[in-house]
Structure 1
Amino acid sequence: MMSTAPLSLKFKVTGMDCAACARKIETAVGRIPGASGVTVGVTSETLSVTLAEPERESEIARTVKSLGYGISGEAPASDHSGQAQGDHDGHTRPIEGSWWQSPKGRLVLLSGGLIAAAYLATLIVPQFSLYVFLAACIAGAIPVVRRAVAAARSGAFFTIEMLMTVAVVGAVIIGATEEAALVVFLFAVGELLEGIAAGRARSGIKALADIAPKTAMVETQEGLVETPIEAIAVGAIIVVRPGDRVPADATVISGVSALDESALTGESIPKVKEPGDRVLAGSINSEAMLHCRVEAEAKDTLIARVVKLVEEAADAEAPTERFIDAFSRYYMPAICALALAVALVPPLALGADWWTWIYRALALLLIGCPCALVISTPAAIASALAAGARRGLLVKGGGVLEAIGKVSAIAFDKTGTLTEGKPKVTDVVPLGDRGEAEVLRIAAAAESASSHPLAVAIVAQAKARGIAFTPASHSEVLPGKGVSARVDGRIVTIGAAQRLGVGSIDVLDQARRLEAEGKSVSVLQTGGKVLGLIALRDEPRADAPEGLKDLDALGVRTVMLTGDNRANAEAVGQMLGMEVHAELLPEDKLAFIRKLAQGRGGVAKVGDGINDAPALAAATVGIAMGSGTDVALEAADAAVLNNKVGDVAALVRLSRRAMRVIGENVTIALGLKAVFLVTTIAGMTGLWIAILADTGATVLVTANALRLLRIKS
């Protein structure tokens, strides 16, 4: 008899507001026979589960629906999707659009209207007011009681809904119907606010996915055809008109235009793109039409990868969040035990009034609701991750976000990280009767046909200085030496002085002086006469000095780890004012990182190349430059997509601000509860004040967390 292979399923679950919702679903689904690996993501609204018995797939939808959430799903290995929509009480759909059009909003309006009618009845027909209050209580409590019973049947007994149910039913029994109705109304308001807040934090991430357009203009034999982006194959030619967003990661094959990439990287200045340059999905074409070749499918574009990573990161618990989650598991039963003691001990031991102490115990249950505590951390983390992603700072999890702010040292790679990764002309030294411009003109003409990085840099410098030149009529590569070309009817050569056999002591001394500064030196000569020297170096990024100063101001030590030659590395290090370790192999970098990591606070590694991957993985936090290799991006825990050294300091600040907000939230949540626990036991506050305090704390921590979405830089 053949055994059935386990089935891995992924569902979309709507209506979750916080970690408590996820925990209820995990507990309930985990009790289904054969279910394992149950994980729920609040931000990504996903439920993943592996079933040993695939025929039980439909039980998952029934279980989640019974808890009051909406669910739809698909089984990757089959066509039977198990799709189901939850019954539409207050938890089944996310709050989008106007709040009053949502189920939670309608419940608040109904409950509030009935309470207003009840208070009006006390003035007009007092004998009927009790029944109107009871109707308000029942209308608002039915969804809560239903979810409490469903959760209890699924094994989750100590839920917020169960505390509410016990408190409201108890209040009605002891005659506090008016307060019970107020409690139900305020709880509904609290849930509405939680739903709005969760939607705000989630929309901050979802907005990223909307940056890229859904269709593209594709060149075909029939002309331009508007095509859904999912149907465009790699290699297809697309047309991006002025004002359009680039629909896919692509390479420009014709046209020159400035592109606004601010939505992807936070960089406000448009970048000029020309044939051969890479363009990213979601960037805006500002000037002229571009023809581009698609390089990645829709699911593999940079923006799609960012959205996926941010969603996964938002659902990955930070150490602080795991602690609070574990704490709340013990906290809820403890509150229930304390409430039971308050209800029983004074009447039994001291002969106190039963109704008074039962009332205080019910109020204590409401005070004990851990809504604010449970939402305090994930709301802040989701907001921080979304705010960072919108500014080109990608962090792959709450744990990473927490760790970045604690690092005491950051090790930077040099080439492509602290520097641009490509040489630039730094010095033009004329040695004959020619001026700088003339030396550069002849050199650019000779190098115009070469694709060597030094040749490209010389040509670029001539263009940047507005020096016109005519490409050499004939050029020849001199293997291991340089280039020979015919310029202005004469043969000129350009290359390293030693390799071209330059004998002038004066020329060689000047070349060595420039080389001592970490520069590569090319000699331009004709007919045995040296016309001049051109020095080139991979220069630091424009923002590197300021970015390193920012880290120093934050109390973070910075160090350069590079495989480049010592002279070059020390020259760049001197310009940046930082500690340098050069001529390192990948294993040397790894050993140095491990040594640094032994210090207090851990160490971060910033790099962009394949040789940085081992060190990135070994560091407490690995940070990749956005222009780096895919290997580096995958190995890293975070990325600065805008390739700015200053963004590393921005990551540290974002982390520290997020952790400060989390600390404030925990203080607010526990502080208010501590105060009202005392006042409730002392009889100073009652039921509706208790739930108002809990709702107020939830609103405060949520609003505080959402402040992170407004970070400007």
Structure 2
Amino acid sequence: MEVSIGKMEGVASASVNFMSQKLKIETERRGSIKKLYPRIEQIVKEIEPQVEIEAWEKETEEEGLDKKEYIPLIAGAVLYFFGLLYPSEGTVRLGIFLAAYALVGGEVLWRAVQNIRRGQVFDENFLMAVATIGAFAVGEYPEGVAVMLFYQVGELFQDVAVHRSRKSISSLMEIRPEYANLVQGEEILQTAPEEIKVGDIILIKPGERVPLDGEVIEGVSSLDTSAITGESLPRDVESGSKILSGMINKNGLLKVKVEKIYADSTIAKILDLVENAGSKKAPTEKFITKFAAVYTPAVVFIALALAILPPIILGESFSTWVYRALIFLVVSCPCALVISIPLGFFGGIGGASKNGILIKGGNYLEALNQVTTIVFDKTGTLTKGNFKVTKIETEGKYSEKELLEFAALGESYSTHPIALSILEANGPVEKGKIENYEEIPGHGIQFRVKGKKIAVGNEKILRRNGISFEKPEGIGTVLYISVDQKFEGHILISDEMKEDSAEAIRDLRKEGIKNLVMLTGDSRLVGEKIGEELGLDTVYSELLPDQKVEKLEEVFKGLGTKEKLAFVGDGVNDAPVIARADIGIAMGAMGSDAAIEASDIVIMTDEPSKIVSALKIAKKTKKIVMQNIFLAMIIKVVVLILGAGGMATMWEAVFADVGVAVLAILNAMRVLNTKDI
């Protein structure tokens, strides 16, 4: 489907998500999908006649399996056992078996005929039809019916397993808010979240899910953030607190002013990200699809040779070798691989999302297994980014209070954590005083206040202006201040290490990460101290934003051909580096649109230890996927060899097909259990 629809004129790309049962089509021109729809429907029907396609509007509850489908199967099974017990051979007994076969296999035969008319020969319907009709042809009536019966029972178990696994994965994403309580005067109206506008006031009652991002304007409560962060630790909120959609209000009544429409809300972005993750397929998934296209025809032609050549060359019975060839046909269907492999990756993505780790595709989940080098940004990633002014040193005529005010005026337009710490220490400033404001990237800010020329920034801004100064002692970020080309003092700002940074670095070593690097714009002294504390391999300090990409390129040169590099940042000014890395990881991205857009993996909390969890989930997923591949292939090869040697029957062949598929699906579901991660 993906290939055929993707080749259509006007279609940019097409992707089928097996788990969410969605066909996602990206068109070259907006609004052209209606014109393309009839041809898309035709292509889908040609490939899978039983599949219906409908335009997606809103998520609805998944329907269960239709129990009416069981009736022909049960009736056919009853007739089959009646035929086995029938006392005499002859036309009546054959008629009973034919009737039983028609009931249990009629749908399979019909689909096989329909597919042959469309030129699709090598599918499971054709293979089962030929195998069972062949059994009738060589006089094995009971076995012909039995194989079809147990194939259908196996398919039923497979459908149930897939249905339940879909439900299990979907339940992880049951965080979509169903309604919002819109406040209109004295009335409270239950309204769809999509209809709420920015600025509207909504009421959130105890036990309800927060439907939209906003600010609390009235009330005090505790919120369960586990749906977003994967952590069950409650978060206390009050008037002025920012809250995100998807959280659950535990106790108090909250009035909230909406700040984003539903489409831009945190929960909508998370759901969209997880639901579309299936469109970015892992290399293993792509390989299995290509392998299946070769494997089935190859086994069919071997079966044909097995049926014809030995009787001609060795002069043995045709019926014996035809029966052995029929076993080949049953085993040749690659269902176990085609179903369980995408299911394993989707389960891994679902399990990660349950832990507050959003992975944008199976390709990134699989690529994590090849990561040997992780590069960290410092601020907000390994350190808290909660900067505080710890010391103010004056070198001239201005007081500490005046120096702090100059710094606050300079940083008043910035949202960087260092700037916010200066503003917090000083208090509000009058921006109207500022004239000729100029920001110099990687250096600092120059401006005028009441005729004075002020420069605020790192030591580079002083050197740029030819101002002499002495470097202060002490660990932390230093903000230098000059007035009218004279150095007047500095402010020391310190950051705190995150509680789990050291543990995360140790655990990353245990997971096989060989090279741990930190990039920072901070001073060499600060960078080296943090590197020493955490046990990092390399620290690059005093970097301008564009120099971070250059240093990343240097690190890339040390990688082996199959080794990959991950970059971890907090999403603030990290977009170029995140984009350049093999895997870009944004940390602490709750509510950060830029971080979610730029990265491949989004960690919703501020914990570096979540990177370790992501690696463990990736390894577990890979292990289960490889188990399924080896399980399916070994059993199929063994049954093929036994079948060719006359030591296997149709029963073993059916198990090697449908039985293995069910086992592989059940095994794939283990990846959802992330309690041991």
* TM-score range for the pair, normalised by the shorter chain length: 0.7 to 0.9
1:392 and 2:350 matched = no
**Residue of structure 1 equivalent to 2:521:** 563
1:228 CA drift (Å): 1.3
**Residue of structure 2 equivalent to 1:700:** 663
**SS of match in other structure, 1:642:** coil
Output the amino acid matched with 2:656.
Answer: A
1:585 and 2:544 matched = yes
What do the CA deviations read for 1:198-246 (whole angstroms, capped 9, x no partner)?
3334334433443132111111134222111121112211111222110
**Residue of structure 2 equivalent to 1:255:** 219
> Are the equivalent residues in 1 in contact too, given 2:476–2:492 (CA < 8 A)?
no
**SS of match in other structure, 1:394:** strand
Correspondences of 1:509-548 after superposition (within 5 Å):
512-513=472-473, 516-518=474-476, 537-548=494-505
**Residue of structure 2 equivalent to 1:686:** 649
> Are the equivalent residues in 2 in contact too, given 1:411–1:606 (CA < 8 A)?
yes
5+ long unaligned stretches in structure 2: 393-403, 435-444, 446-455, 458-469, 481-489
Output the amino acid matched with 1:570.
Answer: E
Output the amino acid matched with 2:21.
Answer: E
Correspondences of 1:447-526 after superposition (within 5 Å):
512-513=472-473, 516-518=474-476
Change (3 A) 1:569 1:53: closer
**Residue of structure 2 equivalent to 1:671:** 634
The 1-side partners of 2:96 and 2:388 are apart by 81
**Residue of structure 2 equivalent to 1:613:** 575
**SS of match in other structure, 1:74:** coil
> Are the equivalent residues in 1 in contact too, given 2:193–2:211 (CA < 8 A)?
yes
Q: What's the RMSD between the two structures over aligned residues?
A: 4.0
1:300 CA drift (Å): 2.5
The 1-side partners of 2:282 and 2:275 are apart by 14
**Residue of structure 2 equivalent to 1:367:** 331
Change (3 A) 1:247 1:699: same
**SS of match in other structure, 1:567:** helix
Output the amino acid matched with 1:44.
Answer: S
What do the CA deviations read for 1:258-288 (whole angstroms, capped 9, x no partner)?
2111122111211122334331212111232
Q: Compare 205-214 and 690-699 and name the one that shifted more.
A: 205-214
Identity across matched positions, percent: 36
Change (3 A) 1:107 1:635: farther
1:337 and 2:301 matched = yes
1:166 and 2:130 matched = yes
**Residue of structure 2 equivalent to 1:115:** 80
The 1-side partners of 2:223 and 2:619 are apart by 33
The 2-side partners of 1:404 and 1:710 are apart by 19
1:401 and 2:355 matched = no
The 1-side partners of 2:320 and 2:647 are apart by 12
> Are the equivalent residues in 1 in contact too, given 2:15–2:279 (CA < 8 A)?
no
The 1-side partners of 2:226 and 2:99 are apart by 54
The 1-side partners of 2:316 and 2:12 are apart by 50
Correspondences of 1:121-520 after superposition (within 5 Å):
121-122=85-86, 128-424=92-388, 512-513=472-473, 516-518=474-476
Change (3 A) 1:322 1:179: same
The 1-side partners of 2:596 and 2:12 are apart by 31
The 1-side partners of 2:327 and 2:530 are apart by 66
Output the amino acid matched with 2:207.
Answer: G
The 2-side partners of 1:63 and 1:521 are apart by 64
Change (3 A) 1:670 1:116: same
The 2-side partners of 1:298 and 1:136 are apart by 54
> Are the equivalent residues in 2 in contact too, given 1:204–1:387 (CA < 8 A)?
no
1:34 CA drift (Å): 9.4
Output the amino acid matched with 2:278.
Answer: A
Output the amino acid matched with 1:660.
Answer: K
**SS of match in other structure, 1:555:** coil
1:665 CA drift (Å): 0.9
Output the amino acid matched with 1:156.
Answer: Q
The 2-side partners of 1:226 and 1:460 are apart by 40
> Are the equivalent residues in 1 in contact too, given 2:578–2:599 (CA < 8 A)?
yes
> Are the equivalent residues in 1 in contact too, given 2:229–2:604 (CA < 8 A)?
yes
> Are the equivalent residues in 1 in contact too, given 2:19–2:343 (CA < 8 A)?
no
TM-score under structure 2 length normalisation: 0.80
> Are the equivalent residues in 2 in contact too, given 1:597–1:620 (CA < 8 A)?
no
1:41 and 2:11 matched = no
1:33 CA drift (Å): 10
1:61 CA drift (Å): 3.8
> Are the equivalent residues in 1 in contact too, given 2:586–2:596 (CA < 8 A)?
yes
The 2-side partners of 1:419 and 1:149 are apart by 65
The 1-side partners of 2:386 and 2:370 are apart by 33
Change (3 A) 1:163 1:267: same
Change (3 A) 1:314 1:37: closer
The 2-side partners of 1:194 and 1:425 are apart by 62
> Are the equivalent residues in 2 in contact too, given 1:104–1:192 (CA < 8 A)?
no
Change (3 A) 1:116 1:534: farther
5+ long unaligned stretches in structure 1: 1-21, 77-92, 429-442, 462-470, 481-494, 497-508, 523-532
Output the amino acid matched with 1:549.
Answer: R
> Are the equivalent residues in 2 in contact too, given 1:158–1:333 (CA < 8 A)?
yes
> Are the equivalent residues in 2 in contact too, given 1:251–1:293 (CA < 8 A)?
yes
1:551 and 2:513 matched = no
1:596 CA drift (Å): 2.3
Change (3 A) 1:561 1:139: same
TM-score under structure 1 length normalisation: 0.76
| Residue 636 of structure 1, aligned match among 568, 588, 599 | 599
What do the CA deviations read for 1:403-447 (whole angstroms, capped 9, x no partner)?
11211110011111112222258899xxxxxxxxxxxxxx9xxx9
> Are the equivalent residues in 2 in contact too, given 1:136–1:181 (CA < 8 A)?
yes
Change (3 A) 1:455 1:306: closer
**SS of match in other structure, 2:370:** coil
Q: Compare 102-111 and 289-298 and name the one that shifted more.
A: 102-111
Q: Compare 387-396 and 336-345 and name the one that shifted more.
A: 387-396
The 1-side partners of 2:150 and 2:261 are apart by 48
> Are the equivalent residues in 1 in contact too, given 2:477–2:522 (CA < 8 A)?
no
1:361 CA drift (Å): 0.5
Correspondences of 1:36-115 after superposition (within 5 Å):
38-48=14-24, 57-58=37-38, 60-61=40-41, 64=44, 67-74=48-55, 96-97=63-64, 101-102=66-67, 105-106=70-71, 108-115=73-80
What do the CA deviations read for 1:356-388 (whole angstroms, capped 9, x no partner)?
111110111101111112224212101101111
1:178 CA drift (Å): 1.2
Q: Compare 384-393 and 632-641 and name the one that shifted more.
A: 632-641
> Are the equivalent residues in 1 in contact too, given 2:158–2:658 (CA < 8 A)?
no
**SS of match in other structure, 2:228:** helix
> Are the equivalent residues in 1 in contact too, given 2:229–2:605 (CA < 8 A)?
yes
**Residue of structure 1 equivalent to 2:453:** none
1:65 CA drift (Å): 5.0
**SS of match in other structure, 1:416:** coil
The 2-side partners of 1:195 and 1:95 are apart by 14
Q: How many residues matched?
A: 606
1:676 CA drift (Å): 0.4
> Are the equivalent residues in 1 in contact too, given 2:476–2:495 (CA < 8 A)?
no
1:301 CA drift (Å): 2.1
1:352 CA drift (Å): 0.8
What do the CA deviations read for 1:126-149 (whole angstroms, capped 9, x no partner)?
974443332222222222222223
1:645 and 2:604 matched = no
